[in-house]
Amino acid sequence: MMTIHLNLEQLAELKEVLEDEFSVLITTYLQDAELRQQMITAAIQAKDYNAARLAAHSLKGASANLGALMLAEICEHLEHDCRAGSYDNCETYNQQIGAEFAIVRQELKMLV
Amino acid sequence: MRLLIAEDNPSDRIILANLIKRLGHDVIQATDGQQAVDLFIEHRPDILLLDVLMPNKNGIQAAREIRHMAGEDLVPIIFLTSLNEASDLAECLEAGGDDFLTKPYNPVVIKAKILAFSRMRRLHTETQRQREHLVQEQLAAKGIFDKIAHYGVLNSPNIRYLISPKAIFNGDVVLAARHPNGDLLVLLGDFTGHGLPAAIGALPLAEVFHGMVSKGFALEDVLREVNAKLKSILPVGVFCCATAVHLGFRNRSIEVWAGGLPEGVIYNSSTREIKQIKSKHLPLGILGQAQFRYEPSYFEMTNDDVIYLWSDGIIETVNSDNEMFGFERLLDVFAKTPDKTKVFDEVLSHVQAFAVEDGEQADDHTLIEVRMQDAPEIALEQALLIKPKVARRGLADCTLSCELGTESLKQFDPVPLLTHFINQVPGLKPYTNTLNTILAELYSNALEHGLLGLDSSLKNSAQGFARYYALRHEKLLALTEGKIRFDMTHEPLEEGGKLTLQVTDSGLGFSIPERQATIDGLSHYHGRGIRLIKTLCQRLEFIAPGNSVIVEFDWKWL
């Protein structure tokens, strides 16, 4: 089964709504997502799981809005575990986020 | 519409802002909760979209603060969330949220929700505007209403009262007016219903009450008139429960009529004795004039006696168990308040403490306290203007003067008019015949002898009689100069009254010694008429030079 990284239908709709600002949106998202990802990594290293949760939450929402549903789902797992207090898989999720984000970034850049 | 978006994630913000701009709305953007609050104060947006998790101040805290500031304004708050725990969503609603938008954003859903809330907001603004208009109108009307309904002597030092309306207008009315003799009449009324419809009946009530009391009418007369007026103007089912008290400061007693209100009390602050004022009548405005009953209660009063009256709003205040405050609890307040000057406040604070917390007041609350003490000084400062006993429903103390010139004398008989006037004194009706006779005799005496100079001895024979009236007609037609003046005074007395009539003509009169000498005999020309009057009256006196006569007629209630 092929994994869908980006919902292209959703992105097409956004492009229609935003017109010229679509590229600004992509750039903004990519910058922000990178920042959040760094925050998650730093927070997990410092065992600040609340900070990790907040960053994951933010990245989840933004990713969902751009159709990066796979990335949003991994963020959701991380957010959930941080909230639930089970931190064993956090680092694994963090790495998955990094890998998925690399793909999303590549695909998004192709759209602008 | 102007929408405020608070969202810390920049890409989410871009999407949302653009979606909304495309819908034709203005967008203000905040990046955290604190900025959202600040921008709300600055721009007063119509709708808010708040992210839940934000740095500095989260969306929930911001929503609470904004709700507080918005007050009665309806500012829809839509939370932006990817939270999906039920308890999180519940917290959003509890903080004042109206709806949610979940990520990823769906343009169709966003459009629909914003449209729905715009409609709601416009509707609310319109409702608010109309309500404000209504309140302004009512306040203006209330100003006029208060001038009519609540003037009088309510600010007397012996009166304390509180009217706590459920709405701007009030179905409760408190009236106090002073009799010309210094006595005080107090009325507490409670019209059916609340607000404007209930208050309207208070206007005629107040007008009749103040008008009649200041003219010295007795409580009975006032209440009969008020009842008749209310009966004729109020719709069926609307009436006025009332207790009315006449405080007599000279004889230290009160006269009470009570119809439909909860029982009031007379509280003696030194002996702590409590007498109850019980309702014995139907409320005002129900019975027709013929059925209306006036069966007052009388109480002797001392300086320590204080009258307390209240509307049923006080008694019927309910607590959280839906129990009424009731009369027993009220009596308990009297028993437990050691400081006699504090009873009024204690009653109010007990009722307030009893009431459901934050509960809406269910009825108008009215309480009045009237002390016998302090009042006599005020009462006695005023001169005794009328006799203690006032006649019922009609003329009592009155004077009428009327002068007829030659033209009137030729074509107008004043006797019926004057008889009718006297008839307006209640109690004099049974004496109509007698009084009519006296008036007629005095008038013909003045006209025929005083002005026309006719000799009544002419009337001793049949031909003379005819001759007399022919002459009278002739002389009257030829009259060029002459006036007759009537002065009537009536004075009410304990058991009836005294009517004094003086008839004066502009003729020459006659020599009094001669008149007085012959008055008991029948020899003189107009002896018969005068002798008749003398038997009917208590006093008859001619005034020099004999062109004026005074009679006094004392009468008793039959």
Nearest CA in chain A to B104: A65
By the 8 A CB rule, do B454 and B447 touch?
no
Partners of residue A10 in chain B, C-beta under 8 Å: 104
- Cross-chain residue pair B22–A64, CB shorter than 8 Å: no
pTM of the model: 0.51
Confidence at residue B517, expressed as pLDDT on a 0 to 100 scale = 47
The tokens for B370 are 């009237």
Confidence at residue B196, expressed as pLDDT on a 0 to 100 scale = 80
Q: Residue A106 and residue A109: Cα distance in Å, rounded? A: 5
**A&B contacts, CB < 8 Å:** 54
Topology of domain B150-381, CATH? Phosphatase 2c; domain 1 (3.60.40)
Average pLDDT, chain A: 91
Confidence at residue B377, expressed as pLDDT on a 0 to 100 scale = 55
By the 8 A CB rule, do B546 and B509 touch?
yes
Confidence at residue B386, expressed as pLDDT on a 0 to 100 scale = 37
Domains of chain A, CATH where assigned: 22-111 (1.20.120.160)
CA distance B11 to chain A (A): 5
Token pair 């109850």 is at which residue?
B276
Sheet arrangement for strand B240-248:
B172-178, B184-191, B240-248, B253-259, B297-300
* Interface residue of A10, A15, A17, A82 to substitute, partner B, most B CBs within 10 Å: A17
Exposure b/e, B435-460, CB count within 10 A at least 16 = b? bbbbbbbbbbbbbbbbbbebebebbe
Confidence at residue B50, expressed as pLDDT on a 0 to 100 scale = 92
CA nearest neighbour of B239 among B201, B185, B281: B201
Partners of residue B107 in chain A, C-beta under 8 Å: 13, 17
User: How do residues A63-101 score in pLDDT, each as one tens digit?
Assistant: 999 999 999 999 999 999 998 999 999 999 999 999 999
Q: Residue A53 and residue A39: Cα distance in Å, rounded? A: 10
Mean pLDDT of A14-27: 89
Confidence at residue B511, expressed as pLDDT on a 0 to 100 scale = 52
Confidence at residue B400, expressed as pLDDT on a 0 to 100 scale = 92
Partners of residue B8 in chain A, C-beta under 8 Å: 58
Q: For residue A100, how many C-alpha atoms fall within 13 Å in the half-sphere facing its CB?
A: 24
By the 8 A CB rule, do B46 and B121 touch?
yes
B341: DSSP letter: G
Confidence at residue A2, expressed as pLDDT on a 0 to 100 scale = 62
* Interface residue of A22, A29, A73 to substitute, partner B, most B CBs within 10 Å: A29
Domain boundaries, chain B: 2-126, 150-381, 398-556
- Cross-chain residue pair B12–A62, CB shorter than 8 Å: yes
Q: How far is CA A59 from the centre of its chain?
A: 4
- Tell me the average confidence (pLDDT) per consecutive run of 10 residues in chain B, 558 residues long: 92 91 92 93 93 86 90 88 74 85 86 91 91 89 80 81 79 84 86 82 90 79 92 89 89 89 90 90 92 89 90 84 86 82 86 73 80 61 40 78 92 82 82 82 89 81 77 90 94 89 88 49 54 85 88 87
Partners of residue B18 in chain A, C-beta under 8 Å: 17-18, 21
Partners of residue B19 in chain A, C-beta under 8 Å: 17
Q: Residue B216 and residue B114: Cα distance in Å, rounded? A: 69
Partners of residue A24 in chain B, C-beta under 8 Å: 14
The tokens for A99 are 């890998």
CA nearest neighbour of B3 among B34, B12, B11, B19: B19
Q: For residue B419, how many C-alpha atoms fall within 13 Å in the half-sphere facing its CB?
A: 19
Cross-chain CB nearest to A61 (options B14, B22, B103): B103
Confidence at residue B520, expressed as pLDDT on a 0 to 100 scale = 43
CA nearest neighbour of B218 among B179, B256, B189, B164: B179
CA nearest neighbour of B330 among B350, B306, B356, B304: B350
Nearest CA in chain A to B14: A25
Tally of CB atoms within 10 A around B241: 25
- Cross-chain residue pair B14–A14, CB shorter than 8 Å: no
CA distance A36 to chain B (A): 10
- Cross-chain residue pair A25–B103, CB shorter than 8 Å: no
* Phi and psi, residue B405, nearest 5°: -90, 180
CA triple A6-A11-A16, angle to 5 deg:
170
Q: Residue B221 and residue B238: Cα distance in Å, rounded? A: 22
Confidence at residue B304, expressed as pLDDT on a 0 to 100 scale = 87
- Cross-chain residue pair B15–A65, CB shorter than 8 Å: yes
- DSSP state letters, B13-60: HHHHHHHHHHTT-EEEEESSHHHHHHHHHHH--SEEEEESS-SSS-HH
Confidence at residue A23, expressed as pLDDT on a 0 to 100 scale = 92
B398-556 falls under which CATH superfamily?
Answer: Histidine kinase-like ATPase, C-terminal domain (3.30.565.10)
- Cross-chain residue pair A17–B22, CB shorter than 8 Å: yes
Partners of residue A17 in chain B, C-beta under 8 Å: 15, 18-19, 22, 107
- Cross-chain residue pair B12–A61, CB shorter than 8 Å: yes
Q: Residue B372 and residue B246: Cα distance in Å, rounded? A: 11
Terminal-to-terminal C-alpha distance of chain A: 27
B2-126 falls under which CATH superfamily?
Answer: Response regulator (3.40.50.2300)
- DSSP state letters, B225-280: HHHHHHHHHSPTT--EEEEEEEEETTTTEEEEEEESSPPEEEEETTT--EEEE---
Partners of residue A13 in chain B, C-beta under 8 Å: 107
Cross-chain CB nearest to B53 (options A10, A24, A54): A54
Nearest CA in chain A to B19: A17
